[in-house]
Amino acid sequence: MTRVLIVEDDPGLARALAITLRSQRYEVVVAGSGAAAIDAAAGRHPDVVVLDLGLPDIDGMDVLRALRGWSRVPVVVLSARQGATDKVTALDAGADDYVTKPFGMDELLARLRAAARRVEPGGELAVVETGAFTVDLARRRVTRDGEEVRLTPTEWRILEILARNVGRMVGRQELFRELRGPNVPQEPHYLRVFLAQLRAKLEEDPAQPRHLITEPGVGYRLVP
């Protein structure tokens, strides 16, 4: 049974969607806020997410970006925002489809079926644990000895990329592509600086790292 996470703060609309989807033999999970949506995505592992952008606590775009930090679950945006810019922004941020309100239920069901067909087997990791620290990709936080470690945005992004590819070597050019932005100089020296900073904050012995490993001349690897 396909599990759908409905993220919608309008109780009436959320209830109507849930009733309709259950009648179509979907398993339904409902979240009325952005924080609840992130928790549900991490804990319930939906096959498809229907995401409203106008949420009471966290903007839906930020929820989408948070999900894309660790998950490839198909996301169908369901929003009253009808501008072309909003659609392009959502699709660029990782949405698979965009349906505007008001909408026809038959159209939404068709979009959901198409999104469900794109589900990749194997699932995703929401939390990556190493012998020294824990990376919670869903909540965008890292802890060491039970205490949250404060990272700069670039430090977090590098750690996030390595955690999403845990155990796999990530090449320097791949890191640069994922880190693209005006504040990230495209020079290997800067990656070494950021990795040194991460090791100082996370490794038990930064001089002899066990988890944030350098593959000389090639890239980096996160080893649990």
pLDDT attached to residue 211: 96
Task: Looking at the structure, tell me whether residues 136 and 70 fall in a common domain.
Answer: no
d(CA 25, CA 22): 5
* Planar angle of CA 87, 16, 20, nearest 5 degrees: 90
Asked whether the predicted pLDDT for residue 37 surpasses 80, the reply is yes
pLDDT tens-digit readout, 114-169: 888 766 554 556 788 999 999 998 888 999 999 999 999 889 989 998 998 888 88
pLDDT tens-digit readout, 102-112: 889 998 998 89
Last residue of a domain, one of 90, 116, 142: 116
Question: What SS3 state is found at 162?
Answer: helix
Predicted TM-score (pTM) of this structure: 0.65
Task: Looking at the structure, tell me whether residues 108 and 134 fall in a common domain.
Answer: no
Task: Looking at the structure, tell me whether residues 111 and 184 fall in a common domain.
Answer: no
Task: Looking at the structure, tell me whether residues 107 and 22 fall in a common domain.
Answer: yes
Helix H segments across 7-136? Answer: 11-23, 34-44, 60-68, 84-92, 105-116
| Per-residue pLDDT band at 182 (split at 50, 70, 90) | very low
Residue at 66 is within a domain: yes
Residue at 121 is within a domain: no
Last residue of a domain, one of 63, 86, 116: 116
Domain of 36, in residue numbers:
3-116
pLDDT attached to residue 188: 67
